[in-house]
Structure formats: structure tokens, C-alpha cells
Amino acid sequence: MPLIHTCYRILEIDRSIAFYEALGFRETGRLPIRDEAINVFMNIPGDGDMPRLELTYNIGREEPYEIGTGYGHIAITADDLDATLARLAEQGIEPEKPPYSVREGGSRLCFVRDPDGYRIEILERAG
């Protein structure tokens, strides 16, 4: 069974869409769930028709969600991490700390947080 998407809950649709669009995602659709919620589906262009990210907005919720200790992150790749971070900085998105490598000679990476506090790893493609 293939993994089809990751889902998490958001507080503001437009703010979250703007953040993920800055990372290269695009909105592929919305699905209202009665008068309770709206699911926003996003993927990365060239990744096929299947959404990779489902953002759930629960209508009327105002208090932040507890992310908990079990959530880690989702990961995306960048051809040029420095250029990607410069582009994100223009939109007010800064990494938690400067890019680094986990091991000598390994790919560089860094983490950013979305508007709701979820961590996203940006991993520079090797080579």
C-alpha cells in the first residue's frame, strides 16, 4: 500500500497556503466536510495528481493545536538550499538555525516552521 498523503490541522487557510506555496507546493483542491471543516489538498508540481499534503481547517476553532511530542516533520528537497532560503527570507520565512550536515560529506539541511508550528525539513539534493 503506497503512502498517499500527510494531514495536519491548521488555524488559517490563507496563511497556511501562502506558506506552503512559498515552499513550492500548489493547492490542488478543497473539500468541505459538512459545516465542520474544510480540507485543503496540496502537492508539488510534477508530483502527479495525488495530493501529498492535506491541511484540515476546523471551522470555528481559534485556539492553537498541540503538536505533541510524537510529530517530527515532513521533508522536501531543494536543488540549491541557499537560493531557496534567500527566496523564503523575502517572504519572512527563516530557518530554525543555519543549514548543516548530519554527517561529514552529507547533504545540507535545515528546518522551517509553518504558521501553526509544524516543522518542515528542507534537504539539499546531493550532487
Tens of each residue's pLDDT in the chain, 127 residues: 677 889 999 999 999 999 999 999 999 999 999 999 999 999 998 888 788 999 999 999 999 999 888 889 999 999 999 999 999 999 999 999 999 998 888 899 999 999 999 999 999 987 6
Is pTM beyond 0.85? Reply is yes
Closest CA to 14 of 121, 119, 122, 116: 116
Half-sphere exposure of 51 (CA within 13 A, CB side): 16
Q: For this structure, is 121 an active site residue?
A: yes
Q: Please give the pLDDT value at position 127.
A: 60
Contact 80, 72 (CB under 8 A): no
Q: Please give the pLDDT value at position 16.
A: 97
Going by DSSP bridges, is the β-strand pair 37-43/53-58 parallel, antiparallel, or unpaired?
antiparallel
Separation of alpha carbons 55 and 11, rounded Å: 10
Among 54, 63, 90, 121, the one annotated catalytic: 121
* Alpha helix stretches (DSSP H) within 43-123: 81-89
Q: Please give the pLDDT value at position 1.
A: 66
Contact 71, 118 (CB under 8 A): yes
